[in-house]
């Protein structure tokens, strides 16, 4: 019998499969079609201090082997998430959940992190540093090591639960940013967030998405994600959560061989709502095919 268990920042998971933030809501819609307790955990919808309507429509554009989205962090705000969304989630998901947090200033990140850190159902805080820094000219916190480290240190100073920093691939040197987060106290790194992309409507000659550009995700980005996971995992001593274009059990094993302790599945959930369940069901047979007795044994084996 194969062993799919892994330990992420001190918390054991039945398997490494984690639906990525923004592709799984707060879980309860998916719980209507299958038992989501089969998941390792999931990262819930990106949460900000204040409610956000998001970007104007259209927000979605199809691509070859992927999609572009510019939803714009639509969410009800942290207070409503705690008061309304988490109680509904807790009725159908009985494991620790990953709280995904976004902010437009260091204070906003800290405010949300403190509130969600106090929630018993939250196991990890996943801090998305791909948001524009409103006090830094609009550049993302995650594009510069110092800014990423500042957010990390500020959140760590006010929370007790494991802090995982989610990094953007839209940078020149992702390793230096990951190392800066580790030095600032991060308990883990997750990557990659979406690549920046766009589509143009040939009939109108205008961008398809109202925001012009958006986050490119899907199977097409898997090799880029795998490369960055490998680079970061070999540069830091803290756990790495890999994501980007993962669609099947073989992709999960490849990500883990590159150095990921756990693997998030994003766009695949939007194409096939059973994607994570199917990957979990397929993992044992794929492990047997490649003579893998325990997933924990292959983490970072690709040297």
122, 164, 290, 294 from 98: Cα distances, Å: 6, 9, 30, 24
- Is residue 32 one of the residues assigned to a domain? yes
- Is residue 1 one of the residues assigned to a domain? no
- Is residue 68 one of the residues assigned to a domain? yes
Q: Is the pTM of this model over 0.95?
A: yes
Q: Residue 230 is encoded by which pair of tokens?
A: 């490998």
Strands 214-217 and 66-69: antiparallel
Residue pLDDT, tens place only, 276-285: 999 999 999 9
- Is residue 119 one of the residues assigned to a domain? yes
- Burial class (CB within 10 angstroms; exposed 0-12, middle 13-18, buried 19+) of 199: middle
Helices (H), the chain: 78-80, 86-92, 106-117, 145-158, 174-183, 222-233, 249-258, 268-271, 275-289
* Dist. CA 194–CA 227, nearest whole Å: 14
The whole-number pLDDT of residue 133 equals 62
- Burial class (CB within 10 angstroms; exposed 0-12, middle 13-18, buried 19+) of 34: middle
Residue pLDDT, tens place only, 211-258: 999 999 999 999 999 999 999 999 999 999 999 999 999 999 999 999
The whole-number pLDDT of residue 261 equals 98
| Number of domains into which the chain is organized | 1
Task: Give residue 57's domain range.
Answer: 6-297
The predicted model gives 124-147 an average pLDDT of: 82
- Is residue 302 one of the residues assigned to a domain? no
* Dist. CA 204–CA 15, nearest whole Å: 47
For residue 131, indicate whether it is catalytic: yes
- Is residue 303 one of the residues assigned to a domain? no
> Which one, of 295, 209, 269, lies nearest residue 36 by Cα?
269
Mean per-residue pLDDT of the chain: 96
- Which CATH number goes with the domain that contains 49? 3.20.20.70
139, 209, 211, 217, 274 from 60: Cα distances, Å: 23, 6, 10, 11, 21
Catalytic residue among 131, 181, 276, 301: 131
């Amino acid at each position: 019998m194969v062993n799919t268990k892994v330990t992420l920042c001190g918390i054991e998971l039945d398997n490494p499969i984690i639906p990525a933030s923004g592709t799984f809501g707060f879980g309860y819609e998916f719980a209507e079609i299958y038992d989501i307790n089969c998941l390792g955990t999931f990262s819930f919808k990106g949460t900000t201090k204040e409610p956000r309507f998001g970007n104007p429509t259209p927000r979605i554009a199809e691509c070859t082997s992927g999609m572009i989205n510019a939803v714009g962090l639509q969410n009800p705000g942290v207070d409503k998430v705690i008061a309304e969304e988490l109680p509904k989630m807790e009725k159908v998901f009985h494991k620790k959940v990953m709280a995904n947090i976004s902010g437009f200033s260091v204070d906003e990140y800290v405010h949300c992190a403190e509130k969600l850190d106090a929630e018993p159902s939250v196991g990890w805080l996943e801090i998305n540093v791909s948001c524009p820094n409103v006090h830094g000219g609009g550049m993302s916190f995650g594009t510069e090591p110092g800014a990423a480290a500042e957010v990390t240190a500020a959140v760590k100073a006010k929370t007790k639960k494991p802090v995982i920093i989610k990094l953007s691939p839209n940078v020149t040197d992702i390793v230096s940013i990951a190392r800066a987060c580790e030095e600032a106290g991060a308990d883990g790194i997750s990557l990659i967030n979406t690549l920046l992309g766009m589509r143009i409507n040939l009939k109108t000659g205008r961008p398809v998405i109202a925001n012009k550009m958006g986050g490119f995700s899907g199977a097409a980005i898997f090799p880029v994600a795998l490369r960055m996971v490998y680079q970061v995992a070999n540069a830091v001593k803290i756990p790495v959560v890999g994501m980007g274009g993962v669609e099947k059990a073989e992709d999960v094993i490849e990500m883990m061989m590159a150095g990921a302790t756990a693997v998030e599945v994003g766009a695949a959930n939007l194409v096939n709502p059973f994607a994570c369940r199917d990957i979990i069901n397929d993992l044992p047979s794929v492990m047997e095919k490649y003579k893998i007795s325990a997933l924990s044994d292959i983490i970072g084996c690709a040297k």
